């Protein structure tokens, strides 16, 4: 193993329990290393407290009532420590390293250099970024926007960390400029959920709150890894278990995060004397009662199997097993749905799901026994060709037994980025609902662009084909997050200008258009004195709770500006005489932005008052009240047919997953504790039989290729790791394997890249 990227790899055994003492130790270590003891403690005490800092990692909801002093998890601590680091990337740093030297470094190294302190510009043909004044930077963006043949040649991307206030202004700017090209990370994430739920129940969001999850009879966790990606969800799962719930996990991998959990928060223990011993001894609460190791991409088949089993039993049962009253009064499409399920044949269901009849029957048993159930899902369901259909099958299962809009029952898509949901609520979308459009036009006296904009995949293709020429991003790391890395790099390189509002150096700043700008912004942990007074922002959790977030640290540099300020100044520079409202006012007081939000976004009335009340407020959630705002007013059963994924000779089906030490493309460390991996992320988890069948063994180095539409894509140097994963399936980490994901391989109807099902081949590395 000579390659530097894999030289330090150590393969250990996967864990069966999540959190516990190692989580406490790790959180403390990372906080001390990055932020120091005083700032670190201050941050942790403010994290997720009412009126404190909303955790900038995942979108999991905070408790409604009393909060303990430790309302965070290991990964929340890592995320804020990463932002609060003492390290700085300033003009000296950029003078020292050329862009090509930086591009040869790993993602982890780039992130570890620290917070960017100054706006920077990469001139055409230049080898190094140079500092630039803010005003000059805006003039350059404006110059490029003005040179476009049409506003639709600009792309305005958003990642899900952006606050409601900044997101609202950003979409207002893009639409005032004349385009709906507002792709976001959601297009690669829960878009399949949003499309499916909007059609089936009239709202693309969760229908439950935390207390429903904690007091229910059954929880299905499908295609989601709570221990790593929404760690405080495990405290809720623990409470649910204590209240008697059963848990079923459907996942190709046996993830520690749903197997069992030791709660590391002392305040969660009634008898504090027991806390240290319980945590130290690692006495765990077992979570999943059943784990079904599903074949990758087999979720639609599995769900149809469960439904088919339920409907079969219904036929032979003297008592009704399904909720006819709910079906008759609240839904439509039931007969067609039943007919559709009847045509699904068991052989296909079993082959596609890779499960045994008894496994599916036992899940049907659980669903029939439960009076109330909740389904939680994430990327394991949404990033496949038939993802929209799979989410709608989850809804079908709930509709069948009236499991939406009652205590302890409902749908729980677990959103990713801390404010990805709020950004969409604020209008970050390549489309607009009619009511949003009407309100926006009325409040701001302008005609919004009629044409739908580009989503993420469409934006990449447009840039590649020279149909879009300016790429502007608020947050995110577009190149590494997107599919088909080489193609996306080509798309960015084709642009006249690429500009990013970011906090940390990332690869998108290194693979650029003809000119490139880095516009560094404040993070959520920092005090925001825009307009000469202390401002706060707000966000929406995965369970629709909108709450304030206020930073407490001195900014990493005096040159940093808030996202709100940057967007408003850009709008002023670009729209100049065309602006029909006073952007400067927004910068003086974010309350004025919230007043505008209140006028435009349904459910945000009286925003400024309600956001200041204890813990914020909930967005309207009609399905929770059994009101379904679909076109017909009924919840809809959807009919889908399973399209089996057929592998060619020697092919494996690859899923791409997150390690415990990363937040998306931000790699904190090259480890994945729960899966036993240390020192390198360039691994491929394979079934022992598949390894043997290829004449390989644990530790061998392989190259990966994928073939799609006649094009062969490749990613080199991955170490083989035997793992408990179904045969013909394998897993690699995101973003290392993104070069293998074809740009045209997307989910039907949502256009989400199929990052969780890529057909690949594995060959021994020749290097």
Ligand X SMILES: Nc1nc2c(c(=O)[nH]1)N[C@H]1C(S)=C(S)[C@@H](COP(=O)(O)OP(=O)(O)OC[C@H]3O[C@@H](n4cnc5c(=O)[nH]c(N)nc54)[C@H](O)[C@@H]3O)O[C@H]1N2
**Three-state DSSP state, 672:** strand
Could you tell me if 705 and 724 are in contact, meaning their C-beta atoms sit under 8 angstroms apart?
Answer: no
Binders in 549-578 for ligand X, by CB under 6 A: 563
The residue number whose beta carbon is nearest to Mo ion equals 416
Tell me how far the alpha carbon of residue 565 is from its chain's centroid: 25
Work out which of 218, 279, 296, 457 binds ligand X, going by CB under 6 A.
Answer: 296
Distance of CA 638 to the CA centre of its chain: 25
* Given 178, 231, 422, 735, the residue binding ligand SF4 (CB under 6 A): 231
Task: Count how many residues are written for the chain.
Answer: 767
Question: Is residue 663 close enough to count as binding ligand X by CB under 6 A?
Answer: yes
Structure tokens at 574: 């670009």
Does position 426 bind ligand X by CB under 6 A? no
As measured in angstroms, the least distance from the Cβ of 417 to Mo ion is 6
Binding mask 703-742 for ligand X (x = CB under 6 A): -------------------------------xx--x--x-
Q: Angle at CA 196, nearest 5°, toward 194 and 200?
A: 115
Q: What is the largest CA-CA distance in the chain?
A: 79
Pick from 40, 76, 449, 739 the residue near ligand SF4 by CB under 6 A: 76
Six token digits for residue 344: 């699904």
Q: For ligand SF4, give the closer residue by CB, 524 or 756.
A: 524
Q: How far apart are CA 470 and CA 528, in angstroms?
A: 29
* Residue 725 and residue 640 in contact, taking contact as beta carbons nearer than 8 Å: no
Q: Which two tokens stand for residue 141?
A: 């963006």
Choose among Mo ion, ligand X, ligand SF4, none what residue 182 binds, the Cβ cut-off being 5 to 8 Å by kind.
Answer: none
Residue 48 binds ligand X (CB under 6 A): no
Cα–Cα distance between 103 and 511 in angstroms, integer?
A: 8
204 makes contact with Mo ion (CB under 5 A): no
- Minimum CB distance to Mo ion smaller for 40 or for 416: 416
Q: Should residue 416 be labelled a site residue for Mo ion when binding is judged by CB under 5 A?
A: yes
Q: Toward Mo ion, which CB reaches closer, 153 or 484?
A: 484
Query: Can you tell me which of 115, 118, 161, 636 binds ligand X, judged by CB under 6 A?
Result: 161
Residue 102 contacts ligand X per CB under 6 A: no
Contact 452, 180 (CB under 8 A): yes
73 binds ligand SF4 (CB under 6 A): yes
- 409 CB burial (10 A radius; 0-12, 13-18, 19+): buried
Q: CB under 6 A: which stretch of 158-166, 230-238, 261-269, 396-404 binds ligand SF4? A: 230-238
Residues in contact with 582: Cβ distance below 8 Å, sequence separation at least 6, in sequence order: none
Return the H-helix or E-strand segment holding 746.
Answer: none
The least distance separating ligand X from the CB of residue 316, rounded to whole angstroms, comes to 29
Q: How many CB atoms lie within 10 A of CB 694?
A: 18
Tokens for 472?
């502007």
Q: Which of 35, 79, 141, 189 binds Mo ion (CB under 5 A)?
A: 189
d(C-alpha 396, C-alpha 417), whole Å:
27
Residue 738 binds which of ligand X, ligand SF4, Mo ion, none (CB < 5-8 A, kind-dependent): ligand X
The stretches of 178-254 forming alpha helices (DSSP H) are: 191-201, 210-214, 226-229, 233-242
**Binding-residue pattern over the window 222 to 241 for ligand X, x denoting contact by CB under 6 A:** xxxx--xxx-----------
Cα 411 versus chain centre, distance: 17
Q: Which two tokens stand for residue 135?
A: 């005003």
Binders of ligand X in range 631-660 (CB under 6 A): 655-658
Nearer to ligand X, 478 or 628 (CB): 478
Does 23 participate in binding ligand SF4 (rule CB under 6 A)? no
**Segment 42 to 61, residues that bind ligand SF4, using CB under 6 A:** 48, 55, 57-58, 60
Interface stretch with Mo ion, choices 52-60, 181-189, 304-312, 680-688 (CB under 5 A): 181-189
What CA–CA distance (Å, rounded) separates 306 from 329?
24
Assign residue 408 a region (left: φ > 0; alpha: ψ between -120 and 50; beta: otherwise): left
Residues binding ligand SF4 (CB under 6 A): 48, 55, 57-58, 60, 72-73, 75-76, 230-232
Residues binding ligand X (CB under 6 A): 57-58, 75, 159-161, 185, 188-189, 222-225, 228-230, 250-253, 255, 294, 296-297, 299, 378-380, 383, 416-417, 474-478, 481, 501-504, 506, 521, 523-524, 563, 655-658, 662-666, 734-735, 738, 741, 755-756
Residues binding Mo ion (CB under 5 A): 189, 416
């Amino acid at each position: 193993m000579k390659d530097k990227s894999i030289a330090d790899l150590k393969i250990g055994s996967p864990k069966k329990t999540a959190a516990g003492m190692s989580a406490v130790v790790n959180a403390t270590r990372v906080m001390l290393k990055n932020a120091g003891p005083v700032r670190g403690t201050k941050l942790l005490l403010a994290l997720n407290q009412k009126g404190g800092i909303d955790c900038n990692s995942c979108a999991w909801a905070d408790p409604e009532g009393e909060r303990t002093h430790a309302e965070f998890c290991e990964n929340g601590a890592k995320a804020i420590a990463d932002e609060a680091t003492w390290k700085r990337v300033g003009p000296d740093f950029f003078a020292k390293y050329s862009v090509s030297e930086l591009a040869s470094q790993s993602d982890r190294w780039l992130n570890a250099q620290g917070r960017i302190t100054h706006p920077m510009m990469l001139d055409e043909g230049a080898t190094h970024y140079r500092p630039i004044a803010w005003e000059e930077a805006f003039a350059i963006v404006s110059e490029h926007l003005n040179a476009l043949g049409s506003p639709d040649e600009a792309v305005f991307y958003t990642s899900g960390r952006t606050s409601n206030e900044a997101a609202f202004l950003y979409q207002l700017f893009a639409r005032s400029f004349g385009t709906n090209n507002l792709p976001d990370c959601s297009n690669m994430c829960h878009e399949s959920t949003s499309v499916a739920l909007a059609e089936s129940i009239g709202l693309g969001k969760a229908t439950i709150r935390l207390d429903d999850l904690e007091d229910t009879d059954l929880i299905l966790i499908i295609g989601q890894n709570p221990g790593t990606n929404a760690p405080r969800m495990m405290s809720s799962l623990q409470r649910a278990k204590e209240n008697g719930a059963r848990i079923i996990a459907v996942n190709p991998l046996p993830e520690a995060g749903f197997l069992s959990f030791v709660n590391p928060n002392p305040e969660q223990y009634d008898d504090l004397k027991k806390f240290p011993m319980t945590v130290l001894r690692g006495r765990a609460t077992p979570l999943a009662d059943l784990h079904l190791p599903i074949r990758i991409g087999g979720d639609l088949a599995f769900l149809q199997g469960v439904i088919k089993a339920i409907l079969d039993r219904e036929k032979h049962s003297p008592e009704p097993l399904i909720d006819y009253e709910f079906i008759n009064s609240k839904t439509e499409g039931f007969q067609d749905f039943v007919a559709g399920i009847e045509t699904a044949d068991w052989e296909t269901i079993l082959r596609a799901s890779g499960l045994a009849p008894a496994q599916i029957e036992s899940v049907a048993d659980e669903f029939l026994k439960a009076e109330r159930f909740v389904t939680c899902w994430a990327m394991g369901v949404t990033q496949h060709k038939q993802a929209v259909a799979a989410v709608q099958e989850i809804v079908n299962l709930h509709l069948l037994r009236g499991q939406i809009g009652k205590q302890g029952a409902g749908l729980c898509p677990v959103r990713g980025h801390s404010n990805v949901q709020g950004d969409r609520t604020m209008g970050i979308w390549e489309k607009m609902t009619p009511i949003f459009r009407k309100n926006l036009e009325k409040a701001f006296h302008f005609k919004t662009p009629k044409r739908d904009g580009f989503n993420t995949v469409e934006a990449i293709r447009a840039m590649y084909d020279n149909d879009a020429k300016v790429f502007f991003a608020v947050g995110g790391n577009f190149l590494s997050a997107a599919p088909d890395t080489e193609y996306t790099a080509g798309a960015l390189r084709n642009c006249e200008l690429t500009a990013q509002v970011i906090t940390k150096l990332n690869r998108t700043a290194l693979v650029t258009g003809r000119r490139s700008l880095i516009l560094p912004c404040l993070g959520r942990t920092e005090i925001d004195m825009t307009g000469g007074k202390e401002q706060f922002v707000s966000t929406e959790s995965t369970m629709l709770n909108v709450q304030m977030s206020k930073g407490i640290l001195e900014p990493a540099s005096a040159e940093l500006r808030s996202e709100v300020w940057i967007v408003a100044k850009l709008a002023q520079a670009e729209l100049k005489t065309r602006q029909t409202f006073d952007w400067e006012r927004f910068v003086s007081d974010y309350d004025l932005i919230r007043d505008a939000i209140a006028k435009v976004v349904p459910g945000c009335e009286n925003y400024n008052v309600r956001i200041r009340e204890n813990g914020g407020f909930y967005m309207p959630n009609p399905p929770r009240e059994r009101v379904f705002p679909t076109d017909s007013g009924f919840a809809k059963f959807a009919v889908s047919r399973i399209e089996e994924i057929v592998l060619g000779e020697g092919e494996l089906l690859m899923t791409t997953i997150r390690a415990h030490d990363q937040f998306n493309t931000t790699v904190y460390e090259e480890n994945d504790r729960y899966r036993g991996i240390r020192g390198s992320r360039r691994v491929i988890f394979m079934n022992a039989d598949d390894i043997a069948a290829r004449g390989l063994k644990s530790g061998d180095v392989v190259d990966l290729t994928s073939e799609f539409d006649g094009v062969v894509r490749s990613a080199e140097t991955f170490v083989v790791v035997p793992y408990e994963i179904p045969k013909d399936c394998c897993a690699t980490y995101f973003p290392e394997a993104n070069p293998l994901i074809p740009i045209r391989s997307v989910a039907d109807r949502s256009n989400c890249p199929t990052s969780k099902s890529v057909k690949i081949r594995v060959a021994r590395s020749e290097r």
